[in-house]
Amino acid sequence: MISVSFMEDKMLGDLLAMRGISPAEEDYRISMRRRTYGDALPVPLWHNSFHPSQTAPLQLVHLDTHLDQADALVRYDKPGLWPRKIWPSYQEAELGYQSNALELVSSEDSVTRARDARVAVVACMRNEMFMLPHFLAHYRKLGVEAFLIADNCSDDGTLEYLAQQPDVALFSVDTDYRLSQYGVAWQQAMMAAFRVGKWSLVADADELLVWQEKQSQTLAQLLNHSDFETAEAIRVFMLDMYPQGPLEDADFAQGTPFDQAGYADRVPFLANTLARGPFADQRCWTSALRHRLIAGSHRSMFVAQKLALLRYQPWMRLSAGLHFVGDARIAPRELLFAHFKYNTDFRRKAQAEVLRGQHFNNAEEYRKYLALVSEGRSVIFDPDLSQKWTDVPFVRRRLRG
């Protein structure tokens, strides 16, 4: 029993359970922080709460290291709630397991910077070190001044890397991804708290926004264009990118992802789908590449659009995955995400997501990908179907400059 008890109180609980005694937590409030790996920053896990104070009369706080002990003791006899937390505005604020509580990891100054930025990038991440440096570099090059990022208990160094970035307002959240509308609950919480009425780009770590062949504008300058003057949401197509050779060769160690995975299908999107969206029967496009890879899938699968650029307002209705938005004026002009799902990290990520089962329909898409990988399929490029991404007609019609 000692060998499988990772904490003293678990062993005590196991001993009591053997005698048929079930402890109750009535009038015994605790907060728990744990490291996801050896040198990680402790983050709230399971018992997601505040540290003890006059405002939060807890009986125990498990800090997991000595680093926060002195600060916790200083606050013990003072009023206030710390660490700072936010919640999705559409639900009641609650503590504990699966509460969708986002805890601020970075400084409060980082939140002020994110609130004041002309344009901010909003993201949810888990174990994204493969793409993360490219993600930050790309958006900084586009003039993005601040990032609002919710980390979902990464154990590959993502949280610690982000904590070192001065332009990142960083939160940690321990709720299961599938219970957050696939991250939209956390994105909405950050926009509702800090970005109401201001442009925010909601992007995954493998989604790099493009609208120009050679950079001549910042994102803030783009959004000043008359195309977006009255808009509150902008449709962004997810262009699936891949290398000319095996996926294993696209390690993104040199240059940018565009250099190593710069190809796409000549016809990248399908519009013949029954998925018309839950709000005002909006149009919908799906990924032609993913239907090519996983033949026979229902034609509504693999939605390849997001209403990802938002001038957020509290009355907007956001769908799971942010593929549709209700009660928002959609701009007539459309932009593109270069979507770098297919690379040397693809197999690892597919395996991890199948094991976690947190994505749509118990990670159905990733299960199908693993079946392809098991057959030795590592080259997506097809000389009859593939083109350099900037030569794809659908792309060319949307690139400016």
Q: Which long-range contacts (CB under 8 A, 24 or more apart) does 108-116 make?
A: 108/84, 110/146, 110/166, 110/167, 110/168, 110/169, 110/170, 111/169, 111/194, 113/145, 113/146, 113/167, 113/169, 114/146, 114/147, 114/148, 114/169, 114/194, 114/195, 115/194, 115/195, 116/146
User: Would you say residue 16 has pLDDT above 60?
Assistant: yes
**What pLDDT is stored for residue 274 in this prediction?**
65
Does residue 355 carry a pLDDT above 80?
no
Mean pLDDT of 118-140: 98
pLDDT band at 24 (very low <50, low <70, confident <90, very high): confident
Mean pLDDT in the chain? Answer: 91
Residue 322 has pLDDT above 80, yes or no: yes
pLDDT value for 336: 98
pTM: 0.92
pLDDT band at 200 (very low <50, low <70, confident <90, very high): very high
Residue 366 pLDDT: 66
Cβ contact 366:346 at 8 Å: no
**Total count of residues recorded for the chain:** 401
Please, is 388 exposed, middle or buried when counting C-beta atoms within 10 Å of its C-beta (0-12, 13-18, 19+)? exposed
Residue 375 has pLDDT above 60, yes or no: no
Instruction: Tell me how far apart the alpha carbons of residues 390 and 397 are, in angstroms, rounded to a whole number.
Output: 10
Express each pLDDT in 134-163 by its tens digit: 999 999 999 999 999 999 999 999 999 999
Answer yes or no: is pLDDT of 321 > 80. Answer: yes
Q: What pLDDT was estimated at residue 125?
A: 98
The phi and psi torsions of 394 (rounded to 5 degrees) equal -60, -40
Q: Give Cα 192 distance to the centre of its chain.
A: 16
| 3-class DSSP assignment, residue 89 | coil
- Taking residues 110-123, what's their average pLDDT? 98
HEC string for 303-337: ECEEEEEEECCCCCEECHHHCCEECCCECCCCEEE
